[in-house]
C-alpha cells in the first residue's frame, strides 16, 4: 500500500506563480524525498529532508517537514514552463532490518504560459 499521499492530485497555475504540493504519510520515517517525473520518463531526485530537519531549500525549491502531523510540503517559487511534471514524495523508513522507500501517487503540475 502507498505510504505517501500527495495533495492535490493535479494543479494548474500561471507561469511565475508559486506552486505548493503536500504529502501526508502514515508511519514513522527516517527521511522524506521529493522527485519529479516528466511525462512517463524516469524520476529525478529533487531534495531529501531528514526526520530531524524542519525545512530545506534548494534553488527555487523549499521543502518543509512536520513529523508531528506526518506531513511535508514542496514549494516551487516563480514557476516556469519547464516545471510542468508530476511530483512524488517518497518516504524512507527503517523497519527492522528493511530499508524501504515508498512513493505516493504524485501531483501533476501544469504551468500555464
Binding interface with other proteins (CB under 8 A): 2, 30-31, 33, 35, 40-45, 48, 88, 90, 92, 98-106
Smallest separation, CB 79 to other proteins (Å): 23
Smallest separation, CB 75 to other proteins (Å): 20
Q: Which residues pair with 14 in a beta bridge?
A: 112
Q: List the beta strands (DSSP E) in the chain.
A: 5-7, 10-14, 19-24, 31-37, 43-50, 55-58, 61-66, 71-76, 85-95, 98-103, 107-112
DSSP single-letter state for residue 58: E
Smallest separation, CB 78 to other proteins (Å): 25
Nearer residue to other proteins within complex by CB, 19 or 49? 49
Nearer residue to other proteins within complex by CB, 25 or 35? 35
Amino acid at each position: 500500500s502507498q505510504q505517501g499521499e500527495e495533495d492535490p492530485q493535479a494543479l494548474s497555475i500561471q507561469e511565475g506563480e508559486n506552486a505548493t504540493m503536500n504529502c501526508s504519510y502514515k508511519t514513522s520515517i527516517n527521511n522524506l524525498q521529493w522527485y519529479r517525473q516528466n511525462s512517463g520518463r524516469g524520476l529525478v531526485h529533487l531534495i531529501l529532508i531528514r526526520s530531524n530537519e524542519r525545512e530545506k531549500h534548494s534553488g527555487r525549491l523549499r521543502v518543509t517537514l512536520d513529523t508531528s502531523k506526518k506531513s511535508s510540503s514542496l514549494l516551487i517559487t516563480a514557476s516556469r514552463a519547464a516545471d510542468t511534471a508530476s511530483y512524488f514524495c517518497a518516504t524512507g523508513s527503517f523497519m527492522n532490518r528493511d530499508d524501504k522507500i515508498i512513493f505516493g501517487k504524485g501531483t501533476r503540475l501544469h504551468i500555464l504560459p
